[in-house]
Amino acid sequence: MSGVMVVAETRRGELREVSLEAVAAALSLSRQGAGPVTVALIDAAPQAHAARLAATGVDEVVTVTSPRDHFEAHLTASAVAALFDALDPSLILAPHSVDGMGWAPAVAAERGLGFASDVIALEWVDGRPLARRGAYGDRLVATVDFPARERVLVMLRPGAVEPATEDAAPAPVRDAGIALDAAAAATEHLGFREPETGDVDITKADFLLCIGRGVEDEDDVERFQELAERLGAALTASRPLVDAGWLPASRQVGQSGKTVTPKVYLALGVSGAIQHLAGMRKAGTIIAVNTDPQAPIFGVAHYGAVADLFDVADALAGQPS
Ligand SMILES: Cc1cc2nc3c(=O)[nH]c(=O)nc-3n(C[C@H](O)[C@H](O)[C@H](O)COP(=O)(O)OP(=O)(O)OC[C@H]3O[C@@H](n4cnc5c(N)ncnc54)[C@H](O)[C@@H]3O)c2cc1C
């Protein structure tokens, strides 16, 4: 028994980024002594993605062909359980995603594995994993140990780890020889429904102005909307402003909002909680304005000003357009 088995995730014919993030986490654990890394890919057409995964530096990619075109929790659970029995890994690494939640806790319970969801970092210490999770809305970080479990399943939060790059010599890819019974599926895929993008699709904009709880009054939102228009930016917000109903959900950036990659991201009065960073850290240039020099947003910002956001907004509004 050894090694890490990553369960890759696809959706609508695409390999999801969190799969490569989980591979990166597994490779890091392997360097710390966790053993070889195997990636399991369960999909209607696994060959379409196997080569990408095989080029990340993993030891092997094993595929299982699903009889369904789309994810089905019971089929995936039965495939992962069969792979676990065959490969006997010390650790299964799954995405903490809607799909992952459909199968991973069930497999952990069925096989008696140690289990942690929404994990943001992993280490390999004394022959077993240590997982870090946010607690109290991520104000604290809890370290989870599994002293009584020889094998563990961990669900990794999307965006918590930089994805693995695809520049290694290709690893072997093999069919695991597991035949999935279509009759085991207990749900039916009816279709995908796109979320409403609202008047602006913030995932396509080049310049985003994001306001956070530093804007303390709903009445001020309008002036930032005007400022955004003046600057040629789309206005976005952190979650508390959306929860308060100040802006629509289509404008929320972050883990439970939109992932954005604009050329410029100007954040005013946003602290930079990990759930917010998950949605914007890949922006081309990040500029942060915050009165608190310790605000985590400065950890990802390319340019930062420890300043009052209203002073900065006034100065920007005074610029000739
Ligand atoms: C499961 C889960 C999912 C979540 N998903 C998301 C998500 O998708 N997106 C998201 O944003 N959050 C999300 N959150 C919430 C997240 O944890 C934070 O609570 C939130 O991002 C904080 O928003 P904020 O930065 O606007 O507010 P705060 O954390 O309150 O920060 C306000 C900042 O404004 C600064 N400030 C105050 N006054 C001024 C001023 N006059 N000038 C300049 N700076 C000033 C303060 O120093 C502070 O840093 C999620 C939380 C959980 C648990």
pLDDT of residue 321: 44
Residue 211 is classified by DSSP as E
Would the CB of 19 count as within 6 Å of ligand 1?
no
Q: What is the pLDDT along the chain (321 residues), one digit of tens a residue?
A: 689 999 999 999 999 999 999 999 999 999 999 999 999 999 999 999 999 999 999 999 999 999 999 999 999 999 999 999 999 999 999 999 999 999 999 999 999 999 999 999 999 999 999 999 988 766 788 999 999 899 999 999 987 888 999 999 999 999 999 999 999 999 999 998 876 666 788 998 999 999 999 999 999 999 999 999 999 999 999 999 999 999 999 999 998 889 899 999 999 999 999 889 989 998 999 999 999 999 999 999 999 999 999 999 999 998 554
Q: For ligand 1, atom 39, name the residue with the nearest CA.
A: 214
Structure tokens at 208: 């985003």
**Is 276 near ligand 1, meaning CB less than 6 Å away?**
yes
| Residue 76 burial (C-beta neighbours within 10 Å; 0-12, 13-18, 19+) | buried
Pocket of ligand 1 contains residue 289 by CB under 6 Å: yes
Contact status, residue 84 vs residue 76, Cβ threshold 8 Å: no
Q: Of all protein residues, whose CA lies closest to atom 26 belonging to ligand 1? A: 212
What distance in angstroms lies between residue 162's CA and the mean position of ligand 1's atoms? Answer: 22
Give buried/exposed letters for 274-303 (b at 16+ CB in 10 A, else e): bbbbbbbbbbeebbbbbeeeebbbbebbee
Please give the distance, rounded to the nearest whole angstrom, from the Cα atom of residue 164 to the centre of ligand 1.
28
Q: What's the 139 CA to ligand 1 centre distance in angstroms?
A: 11
Neighbouring CB atoms inside 10 A of 192's CB total: 8
Is the entire prediction scored with pTM above 0.85? no
Q: How far is the CA of 58 from the centre of ligand 1 (A)?
A: 37
Instruction: Tell me, using a 6 A CB cutoff, whether residue 256 lines ligand 1.
Output: yes
Q: How far is CA 269 from CA 118, 136, 266, in A?
A: 26, 21, 10
33 CA from centroid of ligand 1 (Å): 37
Q: What is the pLDDT of residue 197?
A: 63
Question: Could you tell me the CA-to-CA distances from 96 to 12, 115, 154, 169 in Å, in that order?
Answer: 18, 12, 8, 28
Mutate to test the pocket of ligand 1, among 119, 203, 208, 276 (most ligand atoms within 8 A of CB): 276
N-term to C-term CA, the chain: 65
For residue 260 and ligand 1, the question of a CB distance below 6 A is answered with no
Query: Is any atom of ligand 1 closer than 6 Å to the C-beta of 291?
Result: yes
User: From atom 14 of ligand 1, which residue's Cα is the shortest distance away?
Assistant: 275
How many whole angstroms from 204 Cα to the centroid of ligand 1? 23
Question: Hey, which bits of 246-317 come out as E strands?
Answer: 264-268, 285-290, 303-306
**Rounded distance between C-alpha atoms, residue 241 and residue 306, angstroms:** 22
